C-alpha cells in the first residue's frame, strides 16, 4: 500500500491521507477517481491499463507501478498490483541513511541554515519529494539525495529525471553515495564518501567527500604547459581549464553549497560533458574562459563562505601548475621541459580522470607535488604517461616515415623520464629500479 497515487490522465498526485486528496480545487475528486477505477474493474480492464500508478517511492525511483483503489473499514487505500512494487515500500531506511540525513541537517544548522528531511515541495499539481532539503542563502535550496550501498540498483532509475525536475523547480540536486559505481555515473552531480558505518557518519569527526568535487586549473596552451591540449593540437596558444579532483569535508560541502560558494558545473573535457562541484570562483573563471579563451581568465576572489569567516577563502582556486614556481621541481625536469612539451600526444588527462577511483586519488592533491598513495612526484607520473603515450602512438602508426619521427619522440620522452627517475631516486636516497617499477606500475595500471 501507498498513500500517494499518480493519476496518469489527470497528471496529478493524489494524497490519500487528505480528504480532498490535496486538491481543494477539484471537488469530489475521490468519488470520481474511485468510481472510475471500480468501473474499469467491473469491465475487466487490467490494472496496468487503467489510470493509476504508485506516486510514492516507486515513482521516485522511476518505476511505473500500477495500482487500484479500495475501501477498507471506511479507509481509502491504494494497492500495488505487483508484489515486487509493494516490497519496495517495506525496505526500511538504513541507519547509515538516517545518519546522513542528521549530519546534513546538523552541518547546515551550524552554518546558520535551516532544513528538513523528507520534504515535499509543491510543484503545480504535483510535488517533489526531497530526502533532505537545506534552505540556503538568497533563497537557494539544496536537495540532498543519499543513495547508499545498502539499497538496490533499482533505486537509481530516473535519477536524471528527478534531478532535472528538482533543478527546474529551484532545488539544486545534490546526490551523495558511498558506492564508486554510482559516483561514476554522469546523470547528476554525484559526490561520494567512503563506505562508513552509521555511528561514524553520525559523529562530528571528519567525513570526507572523496570524489565529485574539483578544482579548476587554468593554463595557457604554450610550450611551458604540462597538460596536453584538449583540442588534440600540439599547442594552440589558447587558454584551457583542467578539472582536478580534490577532497572536501562533507560538512563544508553542505554549508558551502547552501551559501552558494560551491556550485555544480558541467565541464567539457574533449567530447564528454562531465558534472562536478567547484567553487563559485572557479565557475566564474570557467565562464570567462568559455566566452574568451584567447587569454587566461582573470583571477577571481573566492567568494566568502558563511557567517563569521566571510573573508577567509576556504577553497583557494589552484593556479596553473608552473614548474618554475614550484621549488620541488627537480632541475632536470626544468631542463627537460621543452622536450616534454614538444611531444606529440600525451594521454588526455581530463578524459581519463573519472575512469577509476585509483586515478582520482593519484591526481587528488593540489598543488600536485606527490601522489597520495605512492608518494611519487606527480611530475614523474606526467612524464611516464607522456612516454607511454608516445610509445602507444608509435605502435599505431603504419607509415615508415611517421614511425621514425614518432620513435624519436618516444626515445626522447623515455630518456626524460629515466633522467627524472634517476634524479629523484638519488635525492631521496631510494632504489632507482624500485622507483621506476613503482612508477610504471602506477601509470599502466591506471591508464589501461
Site residues (CB under 5 A) for Zn ion? 2, 54, 56, 58, 65, 85, 221, 229, 236
Instruction: Decide whether 59 or 438 has the Cβ nearer to Zn ion.
Output: 59
Cell numbers found for residue 201: 557518519
Shortest CB 283 distance to Zn ion, Å: 21
CB of 272 to Zn ion, least distance (A): 17
Least CB distance to Zn ion at residue 263 (A): 26
Q: Which is nearer to Zn ion, 213 or 227 (CB)?
A: 227
Closer to Zn ion by Cβ: residue 156 or 420: 156
Cell of 365: 592533491
Beta bridge partners of 319: 218
Nearer to Zn ion among residue 229 and residue 333 (C-beta): 229
**Alpha-carbon separation of residue 412 from 167, 188, 222, 376, 396 (angstroms):** 50, 42, 19, 21, 18
Longest Cα–Cα distance of the chain, Å, equals 87
Query: Which residues are registered as beta bridge partners of 174?
Result: 144
Q: How far is the CB of 5 from Zn ion (least distance, A)?
A: 9
- Least distance from Zn ion to the Cβ atom of residue 301, Å: 27
Strand duo 141-147 + 126-135: pairing: antiparallel
Whichever of 229 and 343 has its CB closer to Zn ion, that residue is: 229
Residue (224 or 418) nearer to Zn ion, CB: 224
Distance between CA 126 and CA 123 in Å, rounded?
Answer: 5
Residue 236 Cβ, how far from Zn ion at the closest point, in Å?
3
- At closest approach, how far in Å is the CB of 3 from Zn ion? 10
3-state secondary structure at position 3: coil
Q: How far is CA 293 from CA 65, 69, 240, 380, in A?
A: 49, 60, 7, 29
Residue whose CB is less far from Zn ion, 58 or 163: 58
Closer to Zn ion by Cβ: residue 85 or 379? 85
Annotate 310-379 with DSSP letters as a single string: TT--SSPPPBPP-TTT-TTS-HHHHHHHHHHHT-S----HHHHHTS-HHHHHHH-SSS-SB-TTT--BHH
232 by Cβ neighbours in 10 Å (0-12 / 13-18 / 19+) ranks as exposed
Helix, strand, coil content of the chain in percent (nearest 5): 40, 25, 35
For residue 130, the minimal CB distance to Zn ion (Å) is 18
Amino acid at each position: 500500500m501507498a498513500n500517494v497515487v499518480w493519476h496518469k490522465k489527470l497528471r496529478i498526485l493524489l494524497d490519500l491521507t487528505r480528504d480532498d486528496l490535496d486538491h481543494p480545487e477539484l471537488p469530489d475528486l475521490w468519488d470520481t477517481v474511485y468510481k472510475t477505477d471500480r468501473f474499469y474493474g467491473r469491465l475487466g480492464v487490467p490494472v496496468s491499463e487503467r489510470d493509476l500508478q504508485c506516486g510514492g517511492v516507486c515513482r521516485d525511483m522511476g518505476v511505473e507501478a500500477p495500482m487500484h483503489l479500495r475501501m477498507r473499514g471506511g479507509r481509502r487505500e491504494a494497492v500495488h498490483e505487483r508484489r515486487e512494487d509493494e516490497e519496495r515500500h517495506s525496505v526500511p531506511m538504513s541507519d547509515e541513511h538516517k545518519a546522513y540525513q542528521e549530519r546534513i541537517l546538523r552541518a547546515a544548522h551550524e552554518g546558520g541554515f535551516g532544513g528538513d528531511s523528507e520534504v515535499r515541495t509543491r510543484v503545480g499539481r504535483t510535488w517533489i519529494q526531497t530526502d533532505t532539503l537545506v534552505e540556503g542563502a538568497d533563497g537557494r535550496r539544496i536537495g540532498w539525495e543519499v543513495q547508499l550501498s545498502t539499497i538496490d540498483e533499482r533505486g537509481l532509475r530516473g535519477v536524471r529525471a528527478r534531478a532535472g525536475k528538482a533543478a527546474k523547480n529551484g532545488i539544486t540536486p545534490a546526490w551523495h553515495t558511498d558506492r564508486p559505481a554510482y559516483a561514476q555515473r554522469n546523470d547528476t552531480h554525484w559526490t561520494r564518501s567512503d563506505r562508513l558505518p552509521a555511528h561514524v557518519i553520525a559523529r562530528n569527526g571528519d567525513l570526507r567527500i572523496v570524489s565529485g568535487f574539483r578544482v579548476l586549473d587554468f593554463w595557457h596552451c604554450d610550450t611551458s604547459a604540462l597538460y596536453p591540449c584538449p583540442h588534440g593540437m600540439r599547442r594552440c596558444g589558447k587558454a584551457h581549464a583542467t578539472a582536478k579532483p580534490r577532497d572536501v569535508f562533507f560538512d563544508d560541502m553542505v554549508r558551502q553549497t547552501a551559501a552558494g560558494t560551491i556550485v555544480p558545473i558541467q565541464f567539457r573535457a574533449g567530447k564528454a560533458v562531465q558534472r562536478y562541484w567547484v567553487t563559485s570562483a572557479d565557475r566564474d573563471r570557467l565562464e570567462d574562459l568559455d566566452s574568451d579563451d584567447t587569454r587566461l581568465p582573470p583571477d577571481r576572489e573566492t567568494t566568502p563562505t558563511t557567517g563569521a569567516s566571510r573573508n577567509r577563502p576556504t577553497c583557494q582556486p589552484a593556479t596553473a601548475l608552473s614548474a618554475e614556481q614550484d621549488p620541488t621541481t627537480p632541475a632536470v625536469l626544468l631542463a627537460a621541459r621543452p622536450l616534454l612539451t614538444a611531444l606529440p600526444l600525451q594521454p588526455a588527462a581530463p578524459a581519463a580522470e573519472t575512469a577509476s577511483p585509483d586515478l582520482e586519488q593519484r591526481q587528488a592533491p593540489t598543488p600536485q607535488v606527490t601522489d597520495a598513495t605512492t608518494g611519487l612526484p606527480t611530475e614523474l607520473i606526467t612524464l611516464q604517461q607522456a612516454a607511454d603515450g608516445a610509445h602507444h602512438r608509435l605502435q599505431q602508426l603504419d607509415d615508415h616515415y611517421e614511425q621514425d619521427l614518432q620513435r624519436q619522440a618516444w626515445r626522447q620522452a623515455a630518456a626524460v623520464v629515466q633522467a627524472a627517475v634517476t634524479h629523484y631516486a638519488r635525492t631521496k636516497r631510494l632504489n632507482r629500479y624500485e622507483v621506476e617499477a613503482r612508477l610504471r606500475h602506477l601509470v599502466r595500471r591506471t591508464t589501461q
